[in-house]
Amino acid sequence: MFVHHLKHKLTNQFTLTTINALDVFRRATGDQQYYQRVTNGGRLEYNQKWFYATVNAYYQYGQNAAAKKIRAYYVQPEVSANTGKTLFRLGAEILSGSNTRTPGNVSASFVPLYGVAWKFMGNMNLFTRFPADVNDKGLVNPYLFIIHQAGKKLSLRADSHLFYSQYPLLSGERAIDGTYLGFESDLSLNYKPVKALEIIYGFSFTITDKRMEVLNKVPDSAKVPVWSYLMISFAPRLWSQKW
């Protein structure tokens, strides 16, 4: 793997970041022993006091393990506003996918590099492997994050996601009308009674469409999957020495 990273402050408000990655894989079978995948893109940021805006975009090309040519893209626009106690983040992720017009020797499915998808697409981890988790049809993920500082020791966070496939899913050879997959809500509470102690409670649920059954994400879309956790972290300072 080869990676190039550049971050440059264009003005006091604008920052440009570029990331270029070349992956070389060993092919399990076939005459060609190795194949390559290239990802080019970056992020443009605008920051002005309480307002922030950014767009993150990548183009991916080369070959995949099935010896198909890759022609895929990823786009993530986002705006955020900070009132002092509350931060609002509104944005969307668009991962391209293949449709019925995509040539048989081409894959239009974007693959996030090295498992980063779980961090941005909800705590329920419905979409972590691409393109397998969306049946090669791409994903559109509009989101709204609200983070509220209720006091010096307590903060609250609410994340909301809408999930759509970029193109209609297939049931057998027939395309299913519509692209809506479901809604996820992630709620969390962070409490720090003292400096060394942190208590985090999280609760998540998903309201799914029948299309999620086609993706094998839920066995019954009429039921609501729920997940919650409680974490207590204690990190005392046992020894400190100044010279």
**Is 14 among the domain residues?**
no
214-228 residue pLDDT tens: 999 999 999 999 999
pLDDT at 105: 94
**Residue 216: partners with Cβ closer than 8 Å, 6 or more residues away:** none
224 located within any domain = yes
Q: Write out pLDDT tens, residues 146-203.
A: 999 999 999 999 999 999 999 999 877 777 889 999 999 999 999 999 989 999 999 9
Running DSSP on this structure, what letter comes out for residue 115?
G
Give per-residue burial for 211-242: e unless 16+ CB within 10 Å, then b.
bbebbebbeebeeebeeeeeeeeeeeeeeeee
Adjacent-strand bridge partners of 149: 155
CA distance readout (Å), 154 to 2, 170, 186, 189, 198: 42, 46, 17, 7, 10
Distance CA 40, CA 38 (A): 7
Q: Is residue 104 part of a domain?
A: yes
pTM, to two decimals: 0.90
Q: What is the pLDDT of residue 126?
A: 92
Q: How far is 50 from 73, CA to CA, in rounded Å?
A: 30
Q: Give domain status of residue 18, yes or no.
A: no
- The structure tokens listed for 15 are 């920052």
Domain that holds residue 133: 41-234
Read off the pLDDT of residues 104-147 as tens digits, 9 standing for 90 and up. 999 999 999 876 666 678 999 999 889 999 999 999 999 999 99
Question: Cα(85)–Cα(97) distance, rounded to whole angstroms?
Answer: 39
Express each pLDDT in 10-62 by its tens digit.
Answer: 999 999 999 999 999 988 776 668 899 999 999 999 999 999 999 999 999 99
| pLDDT tops 90 at residue 241 | no
53-92, pLDDT tens digit by residue? Answer: 999 999 999 999 888 999 999 999 999 999 999 999 999 9
User: Distance (Å, rounded) from C-alpha 190 to C-alpha 160?
Assistant: 18
Residue 35 falls within a domain, yes or no?
no
- Tally the domains of the chain: 1
Residue 87 lies in a domain: yes
The answer as to whether 167 is a domain residue is yes
Within a domain: 83: yes
